[in-house]
Amino acid sequence: MKQDGNAPEDPVISVRELTRDFGGVRAVDSLSFDVHKGRITGFLGPNGAGKTTTLRMLLGLTRPTTGHAHVFGRPYGSHRRPARRIGAALEGTAFVAGRSGRDHLRCYSGPAGCPRRRVDELLELVGLAEAARRPVSGYSTGMKQRLSLATALLGEPDLLVLDEPANGLDPEGILWLRHFLREFVEQGRSVLLSSHLLREMEQTVDDVLLLHRGRLLYTGSLDQLLQRAGGERRDLESAFMALTGADNGARL
Residue selected from 49, 159, 236, 239 as contacting ligand ATP according to rule CB under 6 A: 49
Q: Rule CB under 6 A: is residue 209 a binding residue for ligand ATP?
A: no
Find the shortest distance in angstroms from Cβ 248 to ligand ATP. Answer: 16
Q: Rule CB under 6 A: is residue 141 a binding residue for ligand ATP?
A: no
Residue selected from 14, 51, 85, 104 as contacting ligand ATP according to rule CB under 6 A: 51
- Looking only at residues 6 through 45 of this chain, which bind ligand ATP when binding is defined by CB under 6 A? 22, 25, 27, 45
User: Taking the C-alpha atoms of 47, 184, 104 and 195 in order, what is their torsion angle to the nearest 10 degrees?
Assistant: 0
Here's the x/- map for ligand ATP, 164-203, by CB under 6 A: it reads as: --------------------------------x-------
Span of 49-57, 67-75, 76-84, 107-115 interacting with ligand ATP by CB under 6 A: 49-57
Q: Rule CB under 6 A: is residue 155 a binding residue for ligand ATP?
A: no
Please report, as ranges, the residues that interact with ligand ATP according to CB under 6 A: 22, 25, 27, 45, 47-53, 196
